[in-house]
Amino acid sequence: MNIQWYPGHMTKARRQMEADLKQVSLVIELADARIPLGSRNPDIDRMAAGKDRLILLNKADMADPAENDAWVKWYAARNIRAVLCDARNPRDVKAIRRAVTEVSAERMERNRRKGILNRPVRAMVCGIPNVGKSTLINSVAGRSAAKTGNKPGVTRSNQWIRLDRTLELLDTPGILWPKFEDPEVSVRLALLGSISDQVVDSGELALELLKFMTREYPALLAGWRKSTDEEDGGDEMPELMAGDYAENAPYLRIMEREARARGCLRGGGNVDYDRIAAVMLNDFRAAKMGRITLEKATV
């Protein structure tokens, strides 16, 4: 699959973000712990040069625990502070507040020596769509200060949230980068819902998920399934996949069997591939298939 998605509002949001960076000393970038590198916008490193930095690997409770530890070490080896978190967990929110203080300590000490006291840390919270920025801000604030939603594009404008005398956060819209050079990155982002479902073929995306699960997490896939490989499907392959049938046949058969086991059928008892694809993607995104990481940390 080769997915490209860069709606017009992201260009405007990117320009506004570049302007607002002049007002902050700290950039808190959220990434999804299930794709700890591919869910980071490479443009942010350039735009945030010279700022204090903190990377939050959000939704760590949905990612592979072993890979979580490996990725923290991967970032540490590159002198980058990365913190695993679940933005909804009060304990993790406290850890994030401590990390903000630690990352900003040197700058705050310089201000103190200059006689600048009680200046709050002004931090920009940024990242790709649907990674949990607004949820984090609301958790830290202890109130519904920012709009949230389980889809990209809920936050369309920047908004300042003053938490207390020590910290102010700027919520920003999720932005991607204009072109995905690596098709695998775009597929992973689509799997997590950071790319609008409206521009993605759900059937093809579900097939990519099955291929990955079969290769990397076969036990979790088996545990999620309600059908077995011994069951007869009896359905014809969807016309969309006809050209790639040889490669996709084993995965199409799984989809057929799961569709029958879960009642995802059209009139006449034929498989409704759109429905079973939606079930698969929703269950994956909600971690009902288990704790899964799509990227492996390499030295």
pLDDT digits (tens, 9 = 90+) for 28-75: 999 999 999 999 988 898 888 889 999 999 999 999 999 999 999 999
Q: How many CA atoms lie within 13 A of 190 on its CB side?
A: 27
Q: What is the residue range of 157's domain?
A: 8-171
Best CA proximity match to 99, nearest among 130, 138, 137, 53: 53
Q: How many CA atoms lie within 13 A of 226 on its CB side?
A: 14
Domain check: are 85 and 209 in the same one? Answer: no
Alpha helices in 126-272 (DSSP H): 133-141, 183-192, 202-216, 218-224, 245-262
Q: Which of 155, 171, 187 represents a domain boundary (last residue)?
A: 171
Domain check: are 109 and 252 in the same one? Answer: no
DSSP state of 197: G
The residue assigned the tokens 């990227």 is 295
pLDDT in tens, 241-254: 555 666 788 899 99
Q: Is residue 133 part of a domain?
A: yes
Q: Is residue 224 part of a domain?
A: yes
Here the CATH number for the domain that contains residue 249 is 1.10.1580.10
Domain check: are 136 and 61 in the same one? Answer: yes
Q: Is residue 176 part of a domain?
A: no
pLDDT in tens, 181-226: 788 988 999 999 988 888 889 999 999 999 999 999 999 999 999 9
Domain check: are 17 and 161 in the same one? Answer: yes
| Mean pLDDT to the nearest integer, 88-98 | 89
Q: Is residue 183 part of a domain?
A: no
Q: Rounded to whole angstroms, how far apart are CA atoms 204 and 207?
A: 5
Here the CATH number for the domain that contains residue 21 is 3.40.50.300
Straight-line distance from the first to the last Cα atom of the chain, in angstroms, rounded to the nearest whole number: 27
Domain count, the chain: 2
Domain check: are 240 and 127 in the same one? Answer: no
Domain check: are 24 and 150 in the same one? Answer: yes
- pLDDT at 120 (0 to 100): 80
